[in-house]
Structure 1
Amino acid sequence: MSAAINTTDHIIFLIGEELKSRRFFNTFQELGLDDSYFQPHLDEAIMTCLGLDDSNATLDFYFAVMNEHASKIGIKSESVAEEAKRVYEKLVANGMG
């Protein structure tokens, strides 16, 4: 049996999954296929785990960071993990977690 993951690892994992999803569905949007019912949205879970409020300023910053880093991920899992950690660090550094 493996040990439970800590909160930071859990949040970084969720961020990585959201980045992959954004990257995937943003590609569809570029092709003109907008808004899929099947697109998962982990933002609320991530924001709750980080203790973020839902003010416009917080949401604007959060979505800007997520979109910026989603566009940077490549096909290797290391790329996703690196970008997820960068997102986490940005959110925490800006008093958002």
Structure 2
Amino acid sequence: MAEDPRVALVVDECGPVSGRVRQVVARGTAELLPCDVPRGRRKLSRYPGEGESRWDRRFLDHLYADPERSGTVRLHVVPASLHARDLGCQVG
């Protein structure tokens, strides 16, 4: 990343039973930044939900790891383009 910060980030959601297939593609530049625990907690609260006691232990271990020992960083992407696609189909 130090030599070439250009990235493409793809997030897919696939539902083989439902036929739901959605995709988001971001292209741009990225940088590695120190782990930000408050930011990480906010993001995790949106997805696994409120209350750390309900979160998978792996999330907590990663979030609270000592960055000096674990090398934990976060990837900050500044998109130059962002595309969302519905690639779904009917099943059956």
TM-score by length of 1: 0.26
Pick the structure with greater CA Rg.
2
TM-score by length of 2: 0.27
Task: Specify which structure has the higher proportion of strand.
Answer: 2
